[in-house]
Amino acid sequence: MDRQQLFDRIRQKGSYLCVGLDTDIRKIPSHLRNSDDPLFEFNRQIIDATHEYAVAYKPNVAFYESLGPAGWQSLERTLKYIPEGIFTIADAKRGDIGNTSSLYARAFFEQMQFDAVTVAPYMGADSVAPFLAFKNKWTILLACTSNPGSNDFQTIESRTTGRPLYEEVIVKACEWAGPDQLMFVAGATAPERIKRVRSLAPDHFLLVPGIGAQGGSLSAVSEAGMNKMCGLLVNATRSILYASDGKDFAEEAAKEARLLRDEMSSYLDRFL
Amino acid sequence: MDRQQLFDRIRQKGSYLCVGLDTDIRKIPSHLRNSDDPLFEFNRQIIDATHEYAVAYKPNVAFYESLGPAGWQSLERTLKYIPEGIFTIADAKRGDIGNTSSLYARAFFEQMQFDAVTVAPYMGADSVAPFLAFKNKWTILLACTSNPGSNDFQTIESRTTGRPLYEEVIVKACEWAGPDQLMFVAGATAPERIKRVRSLAPDHFLLVPGIGAQGGSLSAVSEAGMNKMCGLLVNATRSILYASDGKDFAEEAAKEARLLRDEMSSYLDRFL
């Protein structure tokens, strides 16, 4: 899916919602736990209930990997179940020396056919290049994350440029690829950083975690980050997935997703 | 395995060699490719041939993950095959928000029972803490890596302290855990950085990639990095695994490993 197609979907749906499929075997409703493939069964019902309101799904690979080979099968089944025309992101935060990153890129782009993978920047250009080598795919590079630890290293200011590390990542990565291949992760918990990211990368899409359970504000994020092609994919996970732990979990997930879509729709009208 | 036990093994074997099991299905000898589990079959013969000379094995998870569920099974079989008393490292370079890092930690420490996992520092304290929560296990944090991209971000100097990012990582991480739980990755391609790392973390073990195919010098690394409990695990991968692509691959791997052991043995005599 290219940038124009993604924007078209956002306009059609009035939504820039990404639903995180961080499906925790310990948190899914008890009546699902005895099914053959509980993670997939939960995801299937979540996808059925929310795909009208979402433009992207983002399974965090850890939740599947931690279950061994069976977990990888749940992930593959989930990916195949996501309807055509919805953007898919493997939240994997990989990054290794070049020949190794190539293998990760092939795993997520070829073997599993995700549209995008999240990548960690610490190891630099040659660790990211193998992902960017897939021209019709997307690399989503961590810039400023939404967790408390984002203040440990990402905000260290360079003696040479005065810029914090997350800005250095953006400036350098913009030399590696343009907005048709590269997105950045910018956490909702610090909207002032989203503003800085937007000024350094005016055309890139930003993947924004941290609203809902982590406390970020959708309104502040949208005001700080929206560009003329929306430029935002705002992720919600726990507030949707675990809206209820009963048999009505999918119905309640749909309500939460619809509420977010309605709010996003109003920001698209206001800021676009 | 605790630090004293690791040091005891190093003295017994006269070696601080870690063999990287980055087993590439496209590079293993052709006569193995038709076996039921080619990766495991290759690893089994490499382990048989080299375990006398190695104190650690380090499979890079990408090489298994890229083959899907079957690859994970090869990894699990390999781990179980490694003889008792040899240190095992999952080279995974993971790191995510706290609840997600917990899942990665459980996957590698509980489900698969590795002794150690490599972890990326970019997301800060709460992304590393779940690994450190396993008291009888090891977290190996990336500090300065051996690849060309290590110069993109790791060497950015802080405006406040004047220290490059990789030193900031070490200083901060030393507040999180001591040398009985934490090691650092320090690449052999820049021995002057190993010297700096050693001065900031005098007692920690360092995992040193980058000799052999990447061009680092075992002698320079050993002089710069050895402490009174050795404090080094020096990794070699391609020079051992692919010493020959014929039926004599294991025999040739053993020769390479023995040469490295002999050289290490002389440095242990000289620097310890």
Which CATH number is A241's domain given? 3.20.20.70
**For residue B39, which residues of chain A lie inside 8 Å, CB to CB?**
none
Residue-wise pLDDT tens digits, A161-184:
999 999 999 999 999 999 999 999
- Alpha-carbon distance of B99 to A110, in angstroms, equals 28
Residue A87 has pLDDT above 90, yes or no: yes
Which has the minimum average pLDDT: A26-30, B167-171, B176-180?
A: A26-30
Q: What is the mean pLDDT of chain A?
A: 96
Per the structure block, which two tokens stand in for A184?
């950045």
Considering only residues 32 to 91 of chain A, which have any Cβ-Cβ distance to chain B shorter than 8 Å? 60, 62-63, 65-66, 68-70, 72-73, 76, 91
Q: Which of A80, A93, A172, A195 is catalytic?
A: A93
Closest CB to B124 among A151, A162, A168: A151
Task: Please answer yes or no on whether A111 and B68 come within 8 Å at the CB atom.
Answer: yes
Closest CB to B121 among A153, A159, A172: A153
Q: In the structure, what pLDDT confidence band is assigned to residue A69 with cuts at 50, 70 and 90?
A: confident
- Strand, helix or coil for residue A138: strand
Q: Which of B93, B172, B195, B255 is catalytic?
A: B93
* Residue span of the structural domain in which A201 resides: 3-271
Considering only residues 181 to 200 of chain A, which have any Cβ-Cβ distance to chain B shorter than 8 Å? none
Residue B221 has pLDDT above 90, yes or no: yes
User: A67, A48, A62, A85: which is closest to A251 by C-alpha?
Assistant: A48
Q: Which helix (H) or strand (E) covers residue A140, if one does?
A: strand A138-144
Closest CB to B156 among A60, A69, A165: A165
pLDDT at residue A162 in the model? 98
Q: In the structure, what pLDDT confidence band is assigned to residue B24 with cuts at 50, 70 and 90?
A: very high
Instruction: Confirm if B165 and A156 have CB atoms less than 8 A apart.
Output: yes
pLDDT at residue A212 in the model? 81
Phi-psi region of A103 (alpha: psi -120 to 50; beta: other; left: phi over 0): alpha
Whether B146 contacts chain A with CB within 8 A: yes
Q: Which residue shows structure tokens 């003696």? A: A159
Per the structure block, which two tokens stand in for B25?
């299905």
What is the Cβ-side half-sphere exposure of residue B171, based on CA atoms within 13 angstroms? 12
- Alpha-carbon distance of A97 to B60, in angstroms, equals 11
Q: How far is A4 from chain B (nearest CA, A)?
A: 30
Q: How far is B8 from chain A (nearest CA, A)?
A: 31
Task: Fill in the DSSP letter of residue A83.
Answer: P
Q: Is A93 among the catalytic positions? A: yes
For an interface test with A, which of B75, B79, B153, B165 has the most A Cβ atoms less than 10 Å from its Cβ? B153
Per the structure block, which two tokens stand in for B122?
């970019």
Give this prediction's pTM.
0.97
pLDDT at residue B84 in the model? 96
**For residue A162, which residues of chain B lie inside 8 Å, CB to CB?**
159
Task: Please answer yes or no on whether B66 and A107 come within 8 Å at the CB atom.
Answer: yes
Q: Which residues contact A193 (CB under 8 A, 6 or more apart)?
A: A144, A166, A186, A187
Per the structure block, which two tokens stand in for B89?
């490292």
For A17, B133, B140, the CA distances from B206, given in Å and listed in that order, are: 43, 20, 8
| Partner residues linked to B90 by β-bridges | B117
pLDDT at residue A121 in the model? 98
Mean per-residue pLDDT for A218-240? 97
The proportion of chain A whose per-residue pLDDT surpasses 70, expressed as a percent, equals 100
For A56, A116, A238, B96, B243, the CA distances from A92, given in Å and listed in that order, are: 16, 10, 18, 9, 32
| Partner residues linked to A206 by β-bridges | A184, A232
Residue of chain B nearest A214, judged by CA positions: B97
- Strand, helix or coil for residue A268: helix
pLDDT at residue A53 in the model? 98
Task: Fill in the DSSP letter of residue B89.
Answer: E
- Alpha-carbon distance of B135 to B85, in angstroms, equals 18
Residue B187 has pLDDT above 90, yes or no: yes
Which amino acid belongs to residue B256? E
Radius of gyration of chain B (CA): 18
**For residue B154, which residues of chain A lie inside 8 Å, CB to CB?**
122, 124
- Alpha-carbon distance of A78 to B178, in angstroms, equals 41
pLDDT at residue A124 in the model? 98
Q: How far is A70 from chain B (nearest CA, A)?
A: 7
Q: Which residue shows structure tokens 């051992």? A: B240
Per the structure block, which two tokens stand in for B91?
């080279």
Task: Please answer yes or no on whether B158 and A158 come within 8 Å at the CB atom.
Answer: yes
**Sign of the torsion formed by the C-alpha atoms of A142, A145, A148 and A153:** positive
Instruction: Confirm if B79 and B73 have CB atoms less than 8 A apart.
Output: no
Whether A172 contacts chain B with CB within 8 A: yes
**For residue A176, which residues of chain B lie inside 8 Å, CB to CB?**
none
Q: In the structure, what pLDDT confidence band is assigned to residue A137 with cuts at 50, 70 and 90?
A: very high
SS3 percent helix, strand, coil of chain B, rounded to 5, is: 50, 15, 35
- Alpha-carbon distance of B67 to B86, in angstroms, equals 26
User: B266, B261, B272: which is closest to B52 by C-alpha?
Assistant: B261
Total of domains in chain A:
1
Instruction: Confirm if B215 and B232 have CB atoms less than 8 A apart.
Output: no
pLDDT at residue B131 in the model? 98
Q: Which residues contact A177 (CB under 8 A, 6 or more apart)?
A: A132, A139
Q: In the structure, what pLDDT confidence band is assigned to residue A68 with cuts at 50, 70 and 90?
A: confident
Q: In the structure, what pLDDT confidence band is assigned to residue B224 with cuts at 50, 70 and 90?
A: very high
| Partner residues linked to B116 by β-bridges | B89, B138
* DSSP-derived pairing of the beta strands B232-236 and A182-186: unpaired
pLDDT at residue A214 in the model? 84
Task: Fill in the DSSP letter of residue A25.
Answer: T
Instruction: Confirm if B146 and B132 have CB atoms less than 8 A apart.
Output: no
Whether A159 contacts chain B with CB within 8 A: yes
Closest CB to B72 among A69, A157, A172: A69
Mean per-residue pLDDT for A191-208? 97
Q: What is the mean pLDDT of chain B?
A: 96
User: A95, A96, A131: which is closest to A114 by C-alpha?
Assistant: A131
Q: Which residue shows structure tokens 């803490």? A: B129
Residue B69 has pLDDT above 90, yes or no: no
Separation of first and last alpha carbons in chain B: 21
Instruction: Confirm if B230 and B16 have CB atoms less than 8 A apart.
Output: yes
